[in-house]
Homo-oligomer: A and B are copies of this chain.
Amino acid sequence: MRIKVINPNTTPAMTDLIGYAARAVAGVGTEILAVNPSMGPASIESHYDEALAVPGLLQEITDGENASLSGGVDGYVIACFGDPGLDAARELAAGPVVGIAEAAMHAAVMLGRSFAVVTTLSRTIGRAEDLVAHYGFADRCVSVSACDVAVLDLDDDRSGASLLVEQLARTAIERDRADSIVLGCAGMTSFCERLTDRLGVPVIDGVAAATGMVEALVRMRLRTSTRDEFASPLPKRYDGELASFSLRA
């Protein structure tokens, strides 16, 4: 099967890391396409960034659906912890679409009672809390904390992000009684192994989790329901700079 993993920001270095994490858990015979759109923000750290990452993301979904000649895409991962554009993506794609925030949380609640999210900037805590509540896990998430390192600096050793995340995770485990830690950014995927070793509790990278969930859903031959809400969007004219998003009947 072929899974398209979409990094919704425009930074290829991050796309590479994400692709690596997805491939590490993919089963035999699963091909991972890791991509990012050419339009939109370099990183996603505000509601504004997130909203404007969605057009590029949807373009990637549409491209994936049109790729049937070259083998087609069986399912998609949205590799940003805000799960941007998830509902719209589900309208477009025939196969399953899974966001890394939802996947990580689903995995967490099967591994213990409680989890904590450690994320990047404190201004994104609210969005994480919205998702926790929306997915039904408000009783299970004991805290959301932020290391206040920008997304594109996570990787830079000078930011000290890995250590900061470890400290926040320890606090969540000891003070908040978190049974596991959910990494709150696709850019933290490379911290997962080291943190797992050091913390002694499950540390969950959403990229891996979403890849695993999509694989399982595809193998079960399950796809998004087209009953009503998630049926294909209606044909419609789009204007101006977004005219290329018009849908024909």
Instruction: Report the Cα distance A54→B114, complex, angstroms.
Output: 24
- Asked if residues B241 and A39 are in contact (CB atoms below 8 Å), the reply is yes
Closest Cβ of chain B to A110, distance in Å, is: 6
Closest Cβ of chain B to A29, distance in Å, is: 6
Q: Which residues of B contact A160 (CB under 8 A)?
A: none
In the complex, A41 has a CB within 8 A of chain B: yes
- Asked if residues B225 and A43 are in contact (CB atoms below 8 Å), the reply is no
Partner of A217, one of B114, B212, B217, B230: B212
**Count of chain A residues near B, Cβ 8 A:** 101
- Asked if residues B112 and A96 are in contact (CB atoms below 8 Å), the reply is no
- Asked if residues A227 and B201 are in contact (CB atoms below 8 Å), the reply is yes
Q: Which residues of B contact A227 (CB under 8 A)?
A: 112, 173, 177-179, 200-201
Known contacts A96-B110, A241-B241; A28/B25 CB under 8 A: no
Instruction: Report the Cα distance A204→B49, complex, angstroms.
Output: 29
In the complex, A19 has a CB within 8 A of chain B: no
